[in-house]
Structure 1
Amino acid sequence: MSLDLFAGIPVSDYTVALAWYERLFGTPPVFFPNDTEAVWELAEHRYIYIEHLPARAGNALHTLFVDDLDTRIAGIADRGLKPTQRETYSNGVRKITYHDPDGNEIGLGGGPAPT
């Protein structure tokens, strides 16, 4: 089975959100379907996009699991964003949560911290 994923994030201020997500992901979008959407490819056929939908802004919840959690978190910090929450679950899995200017939640998860 082939699988493409497009996960959407409604935002109230497209320009502000575009700049914030470029800092979060460390790259500009891979394409712009129109003048109210921007799309990033996080992995092959796995996309996340922002869309100017003010009435729906602030309600997205997405968690991305990555192999290189500490490297990604350090890169995001270097680009000026700080997490709003850090959690470690009983099984050692960690989740680092960010909130965009609208309150949309983007979590990054990964295995235990290196020893």
Structure 2
Amino acid sequence: MSVDLFAGIAVRDYATAVAWYERLLGAGPSFLPNDTEAVWEIAEHRYVFIEVRPENAGHAIHTLFVSDFDSRISEIAARGLRPAKSETYENGVRKATFRDPDGNEIGYGGGPA
């Protein structure tokens, strides 16, 4: 089975959100479908996009599981972002949760250290 994913995040301010997600994801958008959306390909056929929808901003909760958790979090920190919350679950899985300017939560999860 093939899986493609488009995970949407409603934001209030386009320019502010694009700048923040560039720092979080480490690159500019993969493409810009129109004046109110920006799309990042985070893995083949898997995308995160922002869309200006002020009435819905701040309610997204997404988690990306990565194999390079420590280096990914360090790279994000080098770009000036710090997790709002860091957790280690009983099974050793770790999660770092970031909040964008609207309060949307984007987490990174990874296996035990």
User: Is TM-score (shorter-chain normalized) higher than 0.5?
Assistant: yes
Deviation readout 1:42-101 (Å, 9 max, x if unpaired) = 000000000000000000000000000000000000000010000000000000000000
Structure 1: state its 5+ residue gaps.
Answer: none
Look up the match of 1:71. 71
Rounded to whole Å, the distance in 1 between the matches of 2:13 and 2:30 is 20
Look up the match of 1:13. 13
Rounded to whole Å, the distance in 2 between the matches of 1:34 and 1:2 is 27
Aligned residues: 113
The CA RMSD measured in Å over matched residues stands at: 0.5
Which amino acid in structure 2 is aligned with residue 107 of structure 1? G
Look up the match of 2:106. 106
Extract structure 1 runs of 4+ deviating beyond 3 A.
none
Rounded to whole Å, the distance in 2 between the matches of 1:48 and 1:80 is 20
Rounded to whole Å, the distance in 1 between the matches of 2:82 and 2:14 is 21
Deviation readout 1:17-49 (Å, 9 max, x if unpaired) = 000000000000100010100000000000000
Offset of residue 2 of structure 1:
2.3
Offset of residue 3 of structure 1:
1.7
Rounded to whole Å, the distance in 2 between the matches of 1:92 and 1:101 is 29
The percent identity for this pair of structures is 69
Look up the match of 1:61. 61
- Tell me the SS of whatever aligns to 1:20: helix
Which amino acid in structure 2 is aligned with residue 17 of structure 1? A
Rounded to whole Å, the distance in 1 between the matches of 2:87 and 2:80 is 20
- Tell me the SS of whatever aligns to 1:10: strand
When normalised by structure 2's length, the TM-score is 0.99
